[in-house]
Every structure is written in structure tokens, then in C-alpha cells.
Chains A and B, each alone.
Chain A
Amino acid sequence: MAEVSLRRVAKRYGSFQAVENFDLDIAHEEFVVFVGPSGCGKSTTLRMIAGLEDISDGEIWIGERVVNDLPPRARNISMVFQNYALYPHMTVRQSQGFGLRMARRPKEEIAEKVNRATSLLGLQGLLARRPAALSGGQRQRVAMGRAIVRDPDVFLFDEPLSNLDAKLRGQMRTEIKKLHEKVRTTVIYVTHDQVEAMTLADRIVVMRDGRIEQVGTPYEVFHTPASRFVAGFIGSPPMNLIDARIVGDGQGGLAVAVPGGPALPIDPARFVGVRADTEVTLGLRPESIAPEGMGGPIERPYGFAADIGLVEPLGSEALLILALGDVEVTARVFRPGPRLAPEAGVRFVIDLNDLHLFDDTTGRRLDRRSE
């Protein structure tokens, strides 16, 4: 059993605050993904959990113990590094067994565990090779094997797939997910790729500038982003974020007015704290805007006419760049027909149930669900 808890953890490099006030409880066997832009402190946090970096403030618990002052080897964790950090002078077999040999385990036990990891990862036939004679994907697998062999309480991954090409990355992503089904352990996985985060995670931790921006399931993070930053970071293509204004709709209700464009009525039951004549950021997912008749099921349609400026066909879907008032927004169409082309005055619908509003100054979500 290994829950991992971080209590108000901070990391300072001199006067630079790399991680601050990091509070998180990770359940046993949970797969948690830290995601965020480059330099936001993901690796630093992971390395503090691993014991490779001193903790400036706060406490880290693994299982029943505070591990702040324990060296990495006393924490019973494994880590897969971004560049794999394989021992170049050891064969695959030797490096798989390295941890167990250092712990002076009996030979039969080492052989058995190495064999198990080998068959789990399909490394048969590579055991006598050195890292220099392996492909990138194979090295990645060996690094994972080395981590598995030791039966750790917690697995740490630091961008393990970022050195692979797109296709292999997809395959390995699936494999990691399958592996977690077989080897149930607590996993903390760092990536800056939001697709990896969405597909792998039980829970996603979105980070920004050393702080947690939102913690939630992939569904929550996608459908109710806690802030403008999360909204723009999760989802591909990213959510359209429009500087807009709340206005009265003339019948006692409220609407959000796109500059130079339509005013979209908003549901007063949902956006309770919103008042007229305030600036907000309006968020619209590309998939909740579609030409009439081409969208999926739309709960509360709102129709308007717009000019399609550009079409980006992607095969199974297409991105349309259109003018909504004075702003350009992206719409996403699934199963586009062959004749999609730039065109003026096309009828579009927006799903009014899929509006996101964010406070103009704080960037926080304006929504009853987030309170």
C-alpha cells in the first residue's frame, strides 16, 4: 500500500520559487499525471518525491512515512527518466537486475524477477545487448523494465515518451496504460503533452508557474476547466478564448457579448455570480461550434451567420477558421464532406450549454459548479 501525500511542499533555488504550496493526496494504485508548460516545476516536484532534490518546505509522505530526509534508496520508488539513463556499460540483463543485486538478493530471485519483467515488456532476445545497440523504443522499454523489476511502491515517470517519434509514442502510451492494468502500483507521470495526460490519467494535476492550477479527472479538467489557463492548455485544438462583456438581454436575463458580434444568452441558474457590465473571458470549445446540420447533438442551439476564412482538413475531421464578430474562432467539424471551402455567410450553431466564462482579472471559472 502506498499513498503519496504532498503537504504544502515548496522548492526554492535561491530566491527563485520553482514549486510553491503544493498540496496533493494520491491514492494507492492511482495513476496521476502532472501536466503543464515547460518550466512549471513538474520535474522538480517529481524529483522531490524521488529524493533527488531537497525539499525546501513542507512534507512528503509515502505510505506511513515522512520521507523528507530519506535518501532515494530508502523510499522504495522507481523512476523512468526522460533520456532513460541506462547504464551504458551493462547489458540489458545486468541493468535490469542492478537494483536487486545492490540489495544483495539471492540469484534465483533476481533471475526470476528479471524474466518476469522481460516477458511483460517483450524484451526477450535483447537481454545480452547494451544500450548502444538498442533503438529508442527498446531503450524506453528497458528503462521501464528496470523500474518494474524492483517491485516499487511508487513509479515515477519523467516525460518518458518525449524522445520517441509520434507513432511510437502512441504505441508506448497504450503499453504503459496496459502495464498499469497488470502491475497495479501508484504512478506519478510527468508530461507536457496533454494528450498523454488525458489518455493515461486517473487524475490530472495541471501546473503553472510552480503552483497547482487544477486537480481533477480528465473529464473534469476538460469539461469544467477551473481557470482560463487550464481551458487553454487542455484540449486540442485549444478552446477559443474571447475577451467579451456581460450585457443585459433586454428581457431581464443576461448575455455575453462578443465584440462586434452576437450576444449569447447565458443561463442565470448556472452563472449565478455574473453581473451585467463586467468584462469576462468567454470560452468556446471548437467542437461546440458547427455549421448547421454538421454538428453533433446540440442541447441549446444558438444560430448565427459567419464567414469561413480557412479550412484545415485533417481527414476524419476539419478545422474551420471563421469570424465571430471581430474575433477569429476555430470550429471543429467531424466527418467533413469533400466540398468544405472558404465561403461567406454560412449558418453556424453554438451550443449554449457549453459556454465557459472566466473572470477577466483572476482567470478563475465563473460557474456554480466550481464553487
Chain B
Amino acid sequence: MSIGADTRAATGRSPHLARRRLPAAEPYFYLAPGIALVAIVMLVPLAVGVSFSFQNYVIFRPSARGWIGIANYVDLWSDRTFWLALRNTARWTFWSVAFQLFLGLGLALILNRPFFGRPIFQSLVFLPWAVPTFLSGLNWQWLYNPIVSPLPGWLAAVGILDEPRNILSDPDLALYGPITAMIWWGIPFFAITLLAALRSIPQDLYEAAAIDGASTWQSFRHITVPFLLPMITITIMLRTVWVANSPDLIFVMTGGGPASSSQILPNYVFTTAYRALDFGYASALATVLMVLLVIYSVFLLFVRGRLGQ
């Protein structure tokens, strides 16, 4: 009870060591439940998934299951469908995200200045986001059907197509069907985030720039762009990972066809796992996609860090 109870004189030994170690470890005790939860919910399934890729794991051949090292990855190297799907994934992601960015940025810039009917226009712009992907996939599939939709006719009229036909059944063009649907569906995401970023730019900076003699283009270039860049990079990163991992529009509109020509990696993973029932190989495909996306994200975050200086 007395103040001197745990001094050296009272206990007869030095409390220093125990005292010093405990505070250093203390935060980790508090964090432990959180870390455990994250590990159980996220890391364990990830590790299990990745471990499948080093196994021969075909559902209808349970007796053959076992560790096979990197054999799945070796197969993958000579799998032409894999390389096609990888190229398609890059194409799909690049065009989708690039157009979403520019159209979304344009919309955000328009919506950032007042005009008559802006509130109505604004809610219309954000509408696609509320449409379920499957529904919009079906819609766009119909839009590309020359029998029910004028769109192929228009495309032929402006010279993009030689005749009004369904691009979804053309191996060279099929992927652009889902890409347009993805662009349409994803613009609002860019528009919303960039509009929020635009609104956070203090108005008096534009006034100061105007007085400093900056033209409209110069204030866009020297005020708007620097303010938007961090938001743009983070949105691009999010959307890239998201789009690269989204098989649903392609699944609905082309089913990856004709003849795998519009297959992207997630579709290929899906068909390998649930049609061929080869979980081992599917895991190897998924792991490759994941590693590529992680490298890409780290690179973008690095760029963003440089921008922030």
C-alpha cells in the first residue's frame, strides 16, 4: 500500500528489466486481436488459395491430388490461351480505365460549374452506377444486336463497321463490346470521385491565379491538375484492380467467345475452375494475375508518393 512498495528497497530486486520490456511490447497486445482477425479472414484464405497453385488438384481425380511444385506455372508458360487472356486483360483494362478516366474527368469538370438543371443532370450521370452489371451487360448485348438495335447501323453509317453486323460475334472486335459497356458503367465512379476532389480545391486559388495572369488553360494546368493528381492516381489504381478482376460483363455479353477471343484472365480462371474443375491450374492463373496487380499498385503508389512531395 505504501508508495515505496515496489522500489528496490522494498522488493529487494531490480524491477528495471521487466518494466522496460513491457511498455515496448504493450501496443502489440492491444493490436493482437485485430491482427489475428485480419490473418484469419484475409491471409489464411489467400495462403490456401496460393498453395493450391502448387498442387495437382483436379476435383474429379481426387486420388491424383498432391504437391507438384511449380508444374502448374510451367504449363502456364506454354498455354496459348493464357497468353491470349493476359493480352486481353491488358487491353480490356487499359481501354476501359482510360476512357472512364477522360470521360469521367470531363463530366466532373462540367458538373463543377453551375448551369441550369445541374442537379437533374448530375443524378442522371450517376445512374449507370446503380444499374446491376448483369443488367447493363444484357442491355449492351442487345444494343449490339443488329436485328433489334440501331447501333450497328449507326456504326456502319459512320464507317466504323463495313456493314451493320454484331461485333460480339467477330473474334477481332468482340472484346470492344464489353469494353464499351464497362466504360459506360464505370464513368460515374470517376466522375463522383473527381468531382469531390474538384470541389475541395479552394476557389480563391483560381482567383489568385487569375490575378497572377494565368489563362483558363494555365489555371487548369497549374492549379486543377496538381490538386487532382493524387486523387486520379488512387482512382486509377482502384479501378484498374477492379476492372481487371471483373469477368461479369464479358461473361454475360460474349461468354469469352467467340472461341476464347474475348477471354480475360478472370474468365479463364472461372472456366478452368468450374468447367474443367482444375483448381490447381486455376489457382496458378489467379496467382499470376494477383502478382501482376500488386506490382502495378505498388508502382502507382510510388508514383503518387513522388507527386505528393
Contact at A87–B204, with CB atoms within 8 Å? no
Q: Per-residue 0/1 for A89-127: is the Cβ within 8 Å of any B Cβ (1 yes, 0 no)?
A: 100000000110011000000000000000000000000
**In whole Å, how far is B306's beta carbon from the nearest beta carbon of chain A?**
13
Distance, CA A15 to CA B222, complexed state (A):
37
Contact at B211–A103, with CB atoms within 8 Å? no
Contact at B211–A72, with CB atoms within 8 Å? yes
Q: Which A residues touch B223, using CB under 8 A?
A: 87
A-B contact count (CB 8 A): 57
Contact at A71–B210, with CB atoms within 8 Å? yes
Contact at B212–A150, with CB atoms within 8 Å? yes
| Contact for B208 among A71, A81, A89, A103, CB less than 8 A | A81
B interface, by DSSP: helix, strand, loop or mixed?
helix
User: A85-B202, A87-B223, A102-B218 are contacts. A52–B212 as well, Cβ < 8 Å?
Assistant: no
Contact at A89–B211, with CB atoms within 8 Å? no
Q: What total of chain A residues lie within 8 Å of the partner, measured CB to CB?
A: 21
Closest chain B residue to A146 by CB distance? Answer: B212
23-77 of chain A: CB within 8 A of chain B:
50-52, 71-73, 77
- B213 interface contact, C-beta 8 A: yes
User: A87-B223, A89-B226 are contacts. A77–B211 as well, Cβ < 8 Å?
Assistant: yes
Contact at A73–B215, with CB atoms within 8 Å? yes
Q: Which B residues touch A102, using CB under 8 A?
A: 209, 212-215, 218, 222
Q: Which B residues touch A81, using CB under 8 A?
A: 204, 207-208
Closest chain B residue to A103 by CB distance? Answer: B213
**In whole Å, how far is A139's beta carbon from the nearest beta carbon of chain B?**
13
Q: Which A residues touch B213, using CB under 8 A?
A: 73, 99, 102-103, 150
**In whole Å, how far is A4's beta carbon from the nearest beta carbon of chain B?**
15
Distance, CA A71 to CA B216, complexed state (A):
11
Interface residues of B (CB under 8 A from A): 202, 204-205, 207-215, 218, 222-223, 226-227
Interface residues of A (CB under 8 A from B): 50-52, 71-73, 77-79, 81, 83, 85-87, 89, 98-99, 102-103, 146, 150
Q: Can you list 21 A-B contacts with CB-CB less than 8 angstroms, sorted by A residue number?
A: A52-B211, A72-B207, A72-B211, A73-B210, A73-B212, A77-B211, A78-B211, A79-B208, A79-B211, A81-B204, A81-B207, A81-B208, A85-B205, A85-B207, A86-B208, A87-B205, A87-B209, A98-B212, A98-B214, A146-B212, A150-B212
3 closest A-B pairs by CB: A99-B212, A85-B208, A73-B213
